[in-house]
């Protein structure tokens, strides 16, 4: 589904993403687990092609095609989408219209279904605007609902769990699982060990590199024991954690 | 109740009204209070119980009075339709509105100039809203694409105690031409004034919007909300003024101007003043290009960049 090969991003002489390689299988929920500032969002932006980010090197291959030259719209039309960690507010755009345009003029019943899936009562939200009158958590749930409406082949979800209250979190995670069951592969970006429990595989990210990839329980435990307690954010101590499996270079 | 009609002009005005988004059936319904004016000719004028419309033709327009009796709750909005259908003309409207105490009325006004090449449309309004009365005024303009029009609406609005005044001015279809909008509100105790203006400037449009609210009585509240989008070489200056002169007066000025053209120029001048220690007035203004994140959010749903910009612009002017 998605192949990332030796992806690099250098900004102002600083390496943000460094030789990052990642493989996401069709039908997989792939968790990206990392502390703040490790390059998770940058990775999402590079895959989706937003924020004017252009890789300094490497390739992103989606369904067999190098997508380097595709615009954000073209990537979306190929079946890829992104939810932002802090979604934009768009004054005057009603929730119903936002979801409809996301789903290319899907019917109202399907719009309602997407809202239900993220734990929102349609009657309360359909005619609200996707603007600053929504709380952060509401806006994020609507963002997720808009991706559900799109029925993407690959959903890149940048911290869909942050800012979500603990009561709503299960419905958010449930909707991601449901999205996956309906055929979407998911790149689930988070810094929560709990959230990646729904993933099939998890990669731990530090300093713009994938340190290791494995089963969720194993990676969560490793993340908790190493990254959570590590005072050297973005300066991995390879003597302590061991070399990345597919890389030999020390920082 | 008076009815005066010049059939052909009336049909043309109703047709233009419909094309401008107005409810044609309302203009044809005798149970709806209405006033339809082409140039200086009143084509239709109907009152309803509790709502009186008086008018008097002038050389270049009309003088009109809309009087709503005390305590009357008008079920269906009053429709006002002013327009000039030829390419050139001058229309001056003197409008006096009096809403009696405890009355409730809504007005839908359409100003239609679909063929304007050189037209001047002036309105001078004096609006008085009684104690506990409610007046909702929505004014939508429809101009042609040529931009040869000068629109000069001026209004002085006086609010009684606990009165509610809501005004929405919308000029988003066709070219603006030149707009010089100037409204001033004098608020009564615990009254509420909400002024919303939405304008889409294109080509060489020149837009000036000045709105002032004087919160002179206890507990008066107001909101001035302005949304302007500019493309091409259009220019806009938005002045939102609120004066908190009484205890517990609360006002807010909120202006967003989006610039979507290299030669468009936007300016916002919020003026907030407080002369009473218990009053509070706030403001926020944002001017600039359309937020890249908003565009990319919509592009990530499959819209191309132009479609995304269009959705954002339509949203802000909705």
- Give B247 to chain A, closest Cα distance, Å: 28
Quick: pLDDT tens for B74-101.
999 999 999 999 999 999 999 999 999 9
- Is the CB of residue B7 less than 8 Å away from at least one CB of chain A? no
Test B300 with A50 for CB contact under 8 angstroms: yes
pLDDT surpasses 80 at A248:
no
Query: d(Cα B156, Cα B138) in Å, to the nearest integer?
Result: 16
| Across A17-43, average pLDDT | 93
Is-contact B49 B25, C-beta < 8 A?
A: no
Q: What mean pLDDT is reported for chain A?
A: 89
Q: Which residue of B has its CA nearest to A92?
A: B315
- Give A93 to chain B, closest Cα distance, Å: 5
CB atoms within 10 A of CB B237: 16
**pLDDT above 70 covers what percent of chain B?**
98
Confidence grade of residue B3 (pLDDT, cut at 50, 70, 90):
very low
Test A88 with B302 for CB contact under 8 angstroms: no
Quick: pLDDT tens for A173-188.
999 999 999 999 999 9
pLDDT surpasses 70 at A244:
no
- Is the CB of residue B303 less than 8 Å away from at least one CB of chain A? yes
**pLDDT above 70 covers what percent of chain A?**
92
Q: Which residue of B has its CA nearest to A154?
A: B300
Query: d(Cα A191, Cα A202) in Å, to the nearest integer?
Result: 11
Q: How confident is the model at residue A145, as a pLDDT?
A: 95
Quick: pLDDT tens for B143-190.
888 878 999 999 999 999 999 999 999 999 888 899 999 999 999 999
Q: How confident is the model at residue B25, as a pLDDT?
A: 87
More confident residue, A245 or A231: A231
Q: How confident is the model at residue A146, as a pLDDT?
A: 95
| Across A117-146, average pLDDT | 93
- Is the CB of residue A151 less than 8 Å away from at least one CB of chain B? no
What are the chain B neighbours of A51 within 8 Å (beta carbons)? Answer: 292, 296
pLDDT surpasses 50 at B209:
yes
pLDDT surpasses 90 at B311:
yes
What are the chain A neighbours of B312 within 8 Å (beta carbons)? Answer: 90, 93
Confidence grade of residue A51 (pLDDT, cut at 50, 70, 90):
confident
Q: How confident is the model at residue B17, as a pLDDT?
A: 83
- Give B225 to chain A, closest Cα distance, Å: 13
Q: How confident is the model at residue A95, as a pLDDT?
A: 97
Q: How confident is the model at residue B28, as a pLDDT?
A: 84
Confidence grade of residue B18 (pLDDT, cut at 50, 70, 90):
confident
Q: Among A50, A51, A102, select the one facing B301 at the smallest CB separation.
A: A102
Test B301 with A50 for CB contact under 8 angstroms: no
- Is the CB of residue A81 less than 8 Å away from at least one CB of chain B? yes
By C-alpha distance, which of B161, B141, B208, B147 is closest to B181? Answer: B208
- Give B296 to chain A, closest Cα distance, Å: 7
SS (H, E, C) chain A: CEEEEEEEEEECCEEEEEEEEEEECCCCEEEEECCCCCCHHHHHHHHHCCCCCCCCEEEEEECCEECCCCCHHHHHHCCEEEECCCCCCEEEEEHHHHHHHHCCCCCHHHHHHHHHHCCCCHHHHCCCEECCCCCHHHHHHHHHHHHHHHCCCEEEEECCCCCCCCCCHHHHHHHHHHHHHCCCEEEEEECCCCHHHHCCEEEEEECCEEEEEECHHHHHHHHHHHCCCCCCCCCCCHHHHCCCCCCCCCC
Test A50 with B298 for CB contact under 8 angstroms: no
Q: Which residue of A has its CA nearest to B297?
A: A88
Test B299 with A72 for CB contact under 8 angstroms: yes
Test B304 with A76 for CB contact under 8 angstroms: no
Q: Among B293, B294, B311, select the one facing A101 at the smallest CB separation.
A: B311
Over the Cα atoms of chain B, what is R_g? Answer: 20
- Is the CB of residue B136 less than 8 Å away from at least one CB of chain A? no
Q: Which residue of A has its CA nearest to B290?
A: A90
Interface test with B, best of A51, A53, A73, A80 (most B CBs within 10 A): A73
pLDDT surpasses 90 at B250:
yes
Q: Among B256, B305, B317, select the one facing A73 at the smallest CB separation.
A: B305
- Is the CB of residue A41 less than 8 Å away from at least one CB of chain B? no
Q: How confident is the model at residue A14, as a pLDDT?
A: 84
Query: d(Cα B290, Cα B310) in Å, to the nearest integer?
Result: 11
More confident residue, A168 or B241: B241
Q: Among B298, B302, B316, select the one facing A92 at the smallest CB separation.
A: B316
Task: Measure Cα distances from B265 to A72, B96, B227, B235, B256 in Å.
Answer: 29, 35, 14, 5, 13
Quick: pLDDT tens for B262-297.
899 999 999 999 999 999 999 999 999 999 999 999
Residues 240-269 of B with CB under 8 A from A: 256
- Give B298 to chain A, closest Cα distance, Å: 8
Q: Which residue of A has its CA nearest to B296?
A: A50
| Across B18-45, average pLDDT | 88
pLDDT surpasses 70 at A108:
yes
Confidence grade of residue A236 (pLDDT, cut at 50, 70, 90):
low
Element of type H or E holding B295: helix B292-299
**pLDDT above 90 covers what percent of chain B?**
81
Q: How confident is the model at residue A242, as a pLDDT?
A: 57
Element of type H or E holding B7: helix B7-19
pLDDT surpasses 60 at B1:
no
Six token digits for residue B180: 């010089």
Q: How confident is the model at residue A249, as a pLDDT?
A: 33
């Amino acid at each position: 589904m998605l192949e990332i090969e030796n992806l690099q991003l250098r900004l102002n002489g600083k390496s943000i993403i460094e030789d990052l390689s990642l493989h996401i299988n069709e039908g997989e929920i792939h968790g990206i687990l990392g502390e703040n500032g490790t390059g998770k969002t940058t990775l999402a932006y590079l895959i989706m092609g937003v924020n004017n980010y252009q890789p300094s090197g490497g390739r992103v291959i989606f369904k067999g095609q190098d997508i380097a030259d595709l615009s954000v719209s073209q990537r979306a039309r190929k079946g890829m989408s992104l939810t932002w960690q802090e979604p934009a507010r768009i004054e005057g755009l009603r929730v119903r219209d936002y979801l409809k345009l996301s789903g290319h003029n899907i019917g109202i019943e399907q719009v309602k279904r997407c809202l239900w899936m993220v734990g929102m009562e349609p009657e309360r939200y359909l005619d609200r605007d996707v603007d600053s009158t929504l709380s952060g958590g509401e806006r994020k749930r609507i963002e997720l609902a808009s991706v559900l409406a799109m029925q993407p082949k690959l959903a890149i979800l940048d911290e869909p769990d942050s800012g979500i209250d603990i009561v709503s979190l299960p419905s958010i995670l449930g909707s991601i699982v449901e999205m996956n069951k309906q055929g979407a592969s998911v790149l689930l970006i988070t810094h929560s060990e709990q959230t990646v429990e729904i993933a099939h595989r998890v990669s731990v990210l530090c300093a713009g590199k994938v340190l290791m990839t494995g089963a969720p329980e194993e990676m969560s435990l490793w993340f908790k024991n190493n990254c959570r307690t590590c005072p050297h954010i973005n300066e991995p101590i390879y003597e302590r954690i061991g070399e990345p499996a597919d890389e030999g270079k020390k920082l | 109740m008076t009815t005066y009609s010049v059939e052909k002009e009336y049909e043309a005005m109703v047709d233009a009204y419909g094309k401008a988004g107005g409810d044609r059936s309302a203009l044809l319904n005798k149970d709806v209070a209405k006033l339809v004016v082409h140039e200086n000719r009143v084509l239709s004028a109907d009152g309803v119980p509790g709502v009186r419309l008086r008018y008097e033709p002038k050389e270049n327009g009309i003088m009109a009075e809309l009087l709503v009796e005390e305590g009357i709750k008008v079920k269906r909005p009053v429709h006002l339709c002013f327009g000039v259908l030829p390419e050139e003309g001058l229309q001056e409207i003197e409008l006096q509105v009096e809403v009696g105490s405890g009355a409730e009325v809504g007005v839908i006004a359409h100003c239609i100039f679909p063929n304007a090449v050189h037209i001047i449309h002036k309105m001078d309004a004096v609006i008085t809203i009684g104690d506990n009365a409610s007046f909702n005024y929505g004014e939508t303009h429809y101009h042609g694409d040529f931009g040869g029009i000068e629109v000069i609406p001026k209004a002085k609005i006086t609010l009684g105690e606990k009165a509610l005044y809501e005004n929405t001015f919308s000029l988003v279809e066709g070219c603006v031409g030149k707009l010089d909008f100037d409204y001033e509100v004098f608020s009564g105790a615990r009254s509420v004034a909400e002024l919303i203006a939405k304008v889409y400037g294109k080509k060489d449009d020149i837009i000036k919007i000045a709105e002032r609210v004087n919160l002179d009585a206890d507990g008066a509240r107001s909101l001035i909300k302005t949304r302007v989008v500019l493309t091409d070489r259009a220019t806009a200056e938005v002045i939102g003024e609120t004066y908190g002169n009484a205890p517990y007066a609360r006002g807010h000025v909120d202006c967003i101007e989006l610039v979507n053209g290299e030669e468009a120029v936007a300016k916002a001048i919020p003026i907030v003043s407080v002369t009473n220690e218990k009053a509070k007035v706030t403001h926020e203004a944002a001017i600039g290009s359309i937020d890249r994140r908003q565009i990319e959010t919509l592009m990530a749903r499959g819209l191309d960049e132009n479609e995304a910009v269009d959705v954002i612009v339509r949203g802000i002017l909705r």
